[in-house]
Amino acid sequence: MRRIITGVLALSLAFSFVLTQSQTAYANALAGGGYSSSYSGESDFLNLAAGGSGTFTARFFNDGTQSWAPSVVGLLVCLADKTTCNVASPNASYASNWFSSTVYATSFQNVTVPAGSIGFFAYNIVVPAGTAGSTVATFNGDLGLISGGTELRPEGYFQVNTTPAPAATTLTISPTSAAMPVGGQQQFTTSNAPAGSTVAWSVTGGCGAVTQSGLFVATATNSATQPCSVVASAGGQTASATITVFGSASTIACSATKTTIPADGGTSTTAVKGTLQDSNGNTVSNDNTTSISYTNNTPTILTPADNGKLVVVSNGVSSRTYASTTVPGTATISLSGTSASGTTLTGCSQTVTTTAPGAPTKLAASFSPATLSADGTSTSVLEVDVTDANGTIVVTGTGSTDTISVSETAGSTVCTLVGGGQSGSSAAAAGSAFFTMVSTTTPGTCSWAATDTTTTTVAAANATLTTVITGAANKLTVTGNTSPKAADGVATLKVTVALQDANGNTITTPASQTTVTSTFGSGCTGTFADGTAGAVAVASGTKTTSAGLAKFTYSSTWATSGCTVTFTDGTGVSSTSATIVFTAGGATGVTCLFSPKIIKNDGSSTSIGTASIVDAKKNLVTAGTFSMSFALLSSNAGNSPTGPVTTQSTSSPQNTTNGTANFTVKSTTGIGTDTYRASTSISGTSVNSGSQTPADCIIFVSPSF
């Protein structure tokens, strides 16, 4: 931690002082007169950052005959030569309550240090604000007489503070990838650029250009074989973002979440997807309007599992869910479509293989619900399935109609079969058998073993049911919320509400079931970007609980980030609430709206025309930046002057912010209406390429309003 000066150096220093009496003296004289010290130790060096504070402590042994009185003996400030002491410190900016400008400290707590004892000398430092990382500040010193500055013995004491080195940073770019049509824009930003550096932007691959503020504009389509990137460079570091510039849709690419599923009669499903691609194989991720048709060529093998749900394209992708039948084989789903411009797309076909269940090898058993009220009346269903080695239910063939026996192995005082008893049997249908259990008034767990008495090589299964003492109905609790869902009018959002006692146990007692009402609160209604009203809808506003649960289904074409729904039952049970969220789709068009719609013909009244980027349902789309044009389309003046009754005072085009651009118009002295057209021809990351369908809005100018 320090260098201890040698005896030879000490003599040399003393001798040098004698030799230079007639010259300017930089080394201090020795005190003598019974004053002497020996270095005994010190605290650790410090690593304080700018603004940090800490304490240094040094220990010296009094090996002389003279006591060290406080304010008489002190730890003197020395220069780097370790001999010039009792001087101003080169680190004076670090000083924090030092004894003086030339003395760090006198004895700790101002105690007298007798001969033969150890004295402690402590002083504080504060690292100046703005001190650079890796700065080394060395504090040299030695004991001496404060008055006169003579040293007791030159020993070369020093301590050091080193400010921590600045943390290494890595330049990053955001977003790390982007896809857009020709003309699309994307604003890129960087983080962690080296201090003092300037970020330079460039494009590799020739798909577009980027400004030195990081705004990229796509100019040409590319493909996987023609990679393109936006590159940020600063301080010798680089970061890049992958760019995909796509053209209009020309083909449909097929895929499936699972290409092989069991032929188990509907338990297993797969989603067949159609992805719109341009001629280079890029996903046309801004397309939300192209129509894709799904043709099931093998309905005996697969069947739709989405209840006739409308198939829509979202961000260039559509999908439909299919379930297996009990017929094994290879199914084919054909996809075809027509683009928004009327062009027939090259279609595709997706095959899905359904496999017959294997030989029955084991049983699977489960209770629904798994927890009941211990009330003597609540029931739960034990389902026992005959499965193959992969867990697929044997819906046909050997094992599908086997006789299943169940017996209670523990908890006979907790639950029984409905009708009484601890055992029973039933023939399986399509590989499954069902047994209804009823609770007693004794809480606990009851365990049941299930065996296949027809095919004895099938492994048995076990399941456990729990019962609990539940009190009076006390509260409703939301136990499930599938938010967010798309605001497309098709997607369904489900909220599950449980009837519980004060301890949070769900009450399954049949006599305690109640009717729960769903009531919309704040955030559930609003307006679309075109000014029309929108609202979240519920399939049914009232539900009767079953086994303690009420399940509500919602849908919406209006996007909302926070629709509050309250659930009550009207009997004094505490209500509960849930926040449900519906999200806007990709941008597909433009809306235009004046506010106010009528202004006075005084030559100074103004109105703001708000042009918005919207999805297919007219929800505002806030992502992306677009160039919006706003211009007078026509005028219908009712008096002189006969020209436009408004003038536009905002330049066009304007870039959108959070999906909107505002344009101000001012009245003239004319009376009538002006129609303005809002349009965009530069598309963002999720808007169809090319010019969008424009939107028109009308401003009325009147002598009275």
Specify the DSSP class assigned to residue 148: T
Looking at every residue in the chain, the average pLDDT score rounds to: 89
pLDDT at 345: 93
- State the residue range of the domain holding 153: 7-162
Q: Per the structure, how many domains does the chain have? A: 6
The whole-angstrom separation of Cα 467 and Cα 479 is 19
Task: Tokens for 687, please give them.
Answer: 């808007």
pLDDT at 705: 60
**Structure confidence by residue, pLDDT tens digits, 355-383:** 999 999 999 999 999 999 999 999 999 99
Give 395-433 as a DSSP string.
Answer: -SSTTTT-EEEEEEEE-TTTEEETTS-SEEEEE-BTTEE
**Structure confidence by residue, pLDDT tens digits, 377-422:** 999 999 999 999 999 999 988 999 999 999 999 999 999 999 889 9
Residue 36 lies in a domain: yes
pLDDT at 309: 64
The whole-angstrom separation of Cα 221 and Cα 311 is 28
Same structural domain for residues 18 and 134? Answer: yes
Nearest to 590 by CA among 664, 651, 659, 527: 659
Lowest mean per-residue pLDDT among 250-254, 355-359, 616-620, 648-652: 616-620
Same structural domain for residues 186 and 259? Answer: no
Q: Is the CB of residue 388 less than 8 Å from the CB of residue 394?
A: yes
Same structural domain for residues 142 and 187? Answer: no
Q: Largest alpha-carbon pair distance within the chain?
A: 121
| pLDDT bucket at 655, cuts 50 / 70 / 90 | confident
Same structural domain for residues 144 and 36? Answer: yes
Judging by DSSP bridges, how do beta strands 646-648 and 654-655 pair with one another? unpaired
Nearest to 291 by CA among 345, 239, 248, 238: 345
Same structural domain for residues 262 and 219? Answer: no
Q: Per-residue pLDDT averaged across 70-84, rounded? A: 92
**Structure confidence by residue, pLDDT tens digits, 622-638:** 877 788 899 999 888 76
Q: Count CA atoms within 13 Å of residue 311 on its CB side.
A: 23
Residue 507 lies in a domain: yes
The whole-angstrom separation of Cα 448 and Cα 120 is 77
The whole-angstrom separation of Cα 62 and Cα 83 is 20
3-state secondary structure of 252: strand
Q: Which amino acid is at 588?
A: T
Residue 128 lies in a domain: yes
Around Cβ 521, how many Cβ atoms within 10 Å? 13
**Structure confidence by residue, pLDDT tens digits, 56-76:** 999 999 999 999 999 999 999
Same structural domain for residues 596 and 657? Answer: yes
Q: Is the CB of residue 254 less than 8 Å from the CB of residue 272?
A: yes
Task: Tokens for 596, please give them.
Answer: 């106010």
Q: Is the CB of residue 201 less than 8 Å from the CB of residue 134?
A: no
The whole-angstrom separation of Cα 613 and Cα 584 is 11
% pLDDT > 70, the chain: 93
Same structural domain for residues 384 and 349? Answer: no
Same structural domain for residues 288 and 337? Answer: yes
Around Cβ 583, how many Cβ atoms within 10 Å? 17
Residue 291 lies in a domain: yes
Task: Tokens for 275, please give them.
Answer: 């992805």
The whole-angstrom separation of Cα 270 and Cα 428 is 26
* Residue that has been written with the tokens 């992306």 in this structure: 624
Same structural domain for residues 373 and 405? Answer: yes
**Structure confidence by residue, pLDDT tens digits, 101-147:** 999 999 998 999 999 999 999 999 999 999 988 999 999 999 999 99
Nearest to 546 by CA among 512, 576, 571: 512
Same structural domain for residues 12 and 154? Answer: yes
Same structural domain for residues 20 and 138? Answer: yes
pLDDT at 28: 59
Lowest mean per-residue pLDDT among 15-29, 318-332, 633-647: 15-29
Q: Is the CB of residue 324 less than 8 Å from the CB of residue 261?
A: yes
pLDDT at 687: 37
Among 419, 436, 468, give the residue marking a domain's end. 468
Residue 621 lies in a domain: yes
- E-state strands within 182-247: 185-187, 189-191, 200-204, 208-210, 215-218, 228-234, 237-246
The whole-angstrom separation of Cα 383 and Cα 380 is 10
The whole-angstrom separation of Cα 373 and Cα 465 is 11
3-state secondary structure of 198: coil
The whole-angstrom separation of Cα 221 and Cα 218 is 8
Q: Is the CB of residue 488 less than 8 Å from the CB of residue 534?
A: no
Among 246, 270, 299, give the residue marking a domain's end. 246
**Structure confidence by residue, pLDDT tens digits, 520-579:** 999 999 999 888 899 999 999 999 999 999 999 999 999 999 999 999 998 889 999 999
Residue 167 lies in a domain: no
**Structure confidence by residue, pLDDT tens digits, 169-204:** 899 999 999 999 988 889 999 999 888 889 999 999
Same structural domain for residues 594 and 644? Answer: yes
The partner residues of 660 in beta bridges, in order of sequence, read 612, 657
The whole-angstrom separation of Cα 588 and Cα 22 is 94
Q: Which amino acid is at 47?
A: N
Over 90: is that where the pLDDT of 680 sits? no
| Inter-CA distances, 302 with 429, 442, 698, Å | 21, 47, 52
The whole-angstrom separation of Cα 489 and Cα 616 is 11
Radius of gyration of the chain (CA): 41
Around Cβ 203, how many Cβ atoms within 10 Å? 19
Residue 2 lies in a domain: no
The whole-angstrom separation of Cα 203 and Cα 36 is 73
Residue 1 lies in a domain: no
Task: Tokens for 621, please give them.
Answer: 């789309």
Q: Is the CB of residue 661 less than 8 Å from the CB of residue 593?
A: no
Give 94-133 as a DSSP string.
Answer: GEES-SSSSEEEESGGG--B-TTSEEEEEEEEEPPTTPPT
Nearest to 159 by CA among 9, 41, 30, 68: 41
Nearest to 487 by CA among 612, 621, 308, 591: 621
3-state secondary structure of 321: strand
Among 548, 583, 618, give the residue marking a domain's end. 583
Q: Which CATH number fits the domain that encloses residue 222?
A: 2.60.40.1080
Q: Per-residue pLDDT averaged across 284-297, rounded? A: 85
Over 50: is that where the pLDDT of 97 sits? yes
The whole-angstrom separation of Cα 693 and Cα 680 is 8
Task: Tokens for 613, please give them.
Answer: 């980027």
3-state secondary structure of 605: coil
pLDDT at 695: 87
Sheet hosting strand 493-500, strand order edge to edge: 475-481, 493-500, 549-556, 533-538, 525-527
Q: Which CATH number fits the domain that encloses residue 123?
A: 2.60.40.10
The whole-angstrom separation of Cα 100 and Cα 92 is 10
